[in-house]
Amino acid sequence: MAFSLDIFSGASAVAVSEILAALQTASFQNGLERHWSCHDMSMAFSTMGAKTLILSEEDKPIAFLLWRAVLDEAEILMICVLPEYRGRGHGGKMLEVLYDNLAIEGVHEVFLEVSENNKAAIALYQKNAFKIVGRRKNYYGDKGIQQQDALIMQYILPKVML
């Protein structure tokens, strides 16, 4: 199988917003995640430093990672892998590519928020050297209904010696 990884930002990222919205909807079918529309995805790219990495198999998009970087800090906004492609190392591969790109940009640390109930995502992040550094009480879900805490996780990029 041939895989490709492509990074998009600015106008090129807005052009793939429809693909990202479809992947996100297909990736989160549990009813607990808020689905982002094509417009929501496009708006994410109006913020400074926003980029996405799309993983494709045989030209079919199967996963993406959406982040933004400002100065020496980055935030992962979303990572999605289609259910039938999970457990094959795709999430970890996208994180490796992200780390390489962020190091070139001079980023030193990466943050993300993840539901305390999303055990698969937490395992992925911990396997890729993220540490839990905080918690936001009742961050996910409607007020009083299925509320979940968000774990704040951090990855510190290794210092590169030139």
Max intra-chain CA distance, the chain: 52
Q: Which residues are catalytic?
A: 113, 125
Per-position DSSP letters for 84-131, written without gaps between them: GGTTSSHHHHHHHHHHHHHHHHT--EEEEEEETT-HHHHHHHHHTT-E
